[in-house]
Amino acid sequence: MTAIKVVIVDDHPMVAEGIQAILETYDDLDVIATLVNGQEAIDQVEALAPDVMLLDLNMPGVNGLSATEIILERRPETRILILSMHDSPEYISSALSHGAKGYVLKDVPTDEIKTAIDTVMQGRQYLCTGAKGSLSPKIADGREALTNREQTILLQLAQGKSNKEVAAELDISVRTVETHRKNIKRKLGISSTAGLTRYALEHGVLQGTGLPS
C-alpha cells in the first residue's frame, strides 16, 4: 500500500519535529516536508503534492485560514487538517468554512493525530473531542458566512466581471471561480447572477461596506 504523504506546517520547530517523530512511527505515513509558514505551504503544495497537510492557524505572514483557501485553490485534492492550540468554536468553525477537513488540538493523544489523518483520507470530516459541537459561523440573517476569498469574488462578480475575468484578476482557475460562485449562491440562498448583483447593491458590497464577516 502506498504511504500517505504528509506535510507539517508550523512556525515552532520543536512542535513540528515532535509531530514528525510521532508520525514517522507509522509505516503507512511518510512525512515528506516540514514547513515554517503559510506562504511556504502555498508556494510548495503543487511540487510536494501532499495527501494531507497539517497546518497551524497562527503563523507569521499568511495565517492558516488564508493559506487553507489558497492551497485548496492550487491543489484541491490535498486534505487540510488544522492542528492548533485554540479550542474556541469561532476558530474551529472558521477553519472548516475555509475548507479544512478536520481540526485537532495540539494536546490530543498522539494516536489521535493518526486517526484524524486516516479519517480525512477516507473523505470524512474529523473533529477531535475538544472540537466537537462547534457550529458553522453565521452572518446576521442566520446564513453561513462567506470566507474572505468568497467576499472578494462576490465583489468582482458584482462589478460585472465574468468568471474568466475574475480568474485572471485573482490568478486562479476558471473552475475555481465557478466553485466559489456556487458556494456563494448556496450560502446566501441566491440562485441567479442577477440576485448576486442585487444582494451586493442592497448590502453595500460595491462600496466595500457591507461584506458579511
Under a CB-based contact definition with an 8 Å cutoff, are residues 6 and 50 in contact?
yes
CATH number for the 4-131 domain, one of 3.40.50.10420, 3.30.365.10, 1.20.58.110, 3.40.50.2300? 3.40.50.2300
Q: What string of pLDDT tens digits covers the 213 residues of the chain?
A: 799 999 999 999 888 999 999 999 999 999 999 999 999 999 999 999 999 999 998 888 888 888 998 999 899 999 999 998 887 777 887 888 888 999 998 888 888 999 999 999 999 989 887 776 554 555 445 567 788 888 888 888 888 889 999 999 988 888 888 888 888 888 888 888 788 888 777 776 665 544 444
> Residue type for 142, please?
G
C-alpha–C-alpha distance, residues 157 and 111, integer Å? 45
| CATH 3.40.50.2300 placement within the chain | 4-131
pTM of the model: 0.69
Tell me which architecture the domain covering 148-207 has in CATH.
Orthogonal Bundle (1.10)
> Residue type for 11, please?
D
Residue that the C-alpha cell 480525512 belongs to: 120
Q: What does the chain come to in residues?
A: 213
Burial of 29 (0-12, 13-18, 19+ CB in 10 A): buried
| CATH 1.10.10.10 placement within the chain | 148-207
3-state secondary structure of 29: strand
* H/E run at residue 118: helix 110-121
Under a CB-based contact definition with an 8 Å cutoff, are residues 119 and 128 in contact?
no
Residue 140's pLDDT is 44
3-state secondary structure of 198: helix
Residue 60's pLDDT is 84
